[in-house]
Each structure stands twice: as C-alpha cells, then as structure tokens.
C-alpha cells in the first residue's frame, strides 16, 4: 500500500484495516500494533459496542480497579498483529483466540448477551477472582 493511501485512511480516522485478498500483495508488510504502556486490559470482541455495553464494560473495569483509559478493544482478526504490550489481562468476549503472551486470560459471552445473564457475569467474576488467589 502506498504512503498516500495510508495517509488517506488515517485522515478518515481508520487506523486499522485488513486486506481481503493478501495474496494480491505478496510484498505487503502486515502492520504491528504496539499497545501503549498504559493499556492493562485488551478486550477482544467482534461486536460493535453501544452505550449500554460501554456502561457495563466500565462497571467491570471498575470492579477490577482499572480505569477506562487502561483498556483497549480490538477485533479478533487484529489480535495476531499485537506486538509490544504491557497487558495484565486479555478478555475474549464472544470469541476465542490465541492470547498475547504474559497476560491473564478471561473468556465470556459477548457484552450484549451479558446484560441479561447473571450467570455469565458470575462466571466472569469467578475467573477474575481466580487470579487473585
């Protein structure tokens, strides 16, 4: 991809993209996503989070003694591009994948499904607490 194309994507606010047919571009370098040092939790989900989901996510972060600015979200297909990180947690919500090395892994249903499922919230909380033991 030419530098001009990348610049146009960035001007549109697109900082992550995926080529549908990478075999067309054999020399393409897959960009590495280096997470900021402040990022302690990575939410891996393919769901678009609405305001209600963001509220629940904030409550869960608060229970983990984390601030919203200490968390980022990526779709599952971008996870393989994560390079340098200082993660403590990697939370898979509604999907499964290989997690970045050196972090504690959480698995749950997607946030939209979790709203009305007390047992899913309890299961997530038990996973979080199991790392404190």
What is residue 15's predicted lDDT score, i.e. its pLDDT?
64
Take residue 43 and report the two structure tokens written for it: 């939410």
- Nearest alpha carbon to residue 19 among 7, 34, 6, 36: 6
- Nearest alpha carbon to residue 80 among 9, 30, 38, 19: 30
Under CATH, what is the fold of the domain 41-130?
A: Rossmann fold (3.40.50)
Which residue ranges make up each domain of the chain?
A: 41-130
Residue 82's DSSP bridge partners are: 33
pLDDT tens-digit profile, the chain (133 residues): 566 777 777 777 766 666 677 677 777 667 788 888 999 999 999 998 899 999 999 999 999 999 999 999 999 988 888 888 899 999 999 999 888 888 999 999 999 999 999 999 999 999 999 987 5
What ranges in 12-107 are assigned the alpha helix state H? Answer: 51-63
Chain centroid to CA 121:
18
Give the C-alpha distances (Å, rounded to integers) separating 82 from 5, 59, 70: 22, 26, 16
What is residue 22's predicted lDDT score, i.e. its pLDDT?
67
What is residue 19's predicted lDDT score, i.e. its pLDDT?
66
What is residue 104's predicted lDDT score, i.e. its pLDDT?
94
- By the 8 A CB rule, do 77 and 96 touch? no
pTM for the whole thing?
0.76
């Amino acid at each position: 991809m030419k530098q001009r194309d990348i610049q146009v994507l960035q001007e549109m606010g697109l900082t992550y993209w995926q080529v549908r047919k990478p075999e067309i571009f054999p020399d393409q370098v897959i960009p590495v996503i280096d997470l900021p040092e402040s990022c302690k939790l990575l939410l891996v989900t393919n769901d678009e989070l609405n305001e209600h989901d963001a509220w629940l996510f904030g409550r869960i972060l608060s229970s983990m003694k984390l601030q919203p600015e200490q968390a980022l979200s990526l779709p599952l297909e971008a996870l393989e591009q994560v390079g340098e990180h200082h993660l403590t947690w990697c939370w898979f919500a509604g999907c499964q994948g290989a997690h970045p090395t050196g972090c504690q892994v959480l698995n749950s249903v997607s946030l939209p499904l979790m709203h009305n499922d007390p047992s899913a919230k309890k299961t997530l909380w038990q996973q979080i607490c199991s790392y404190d033991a």
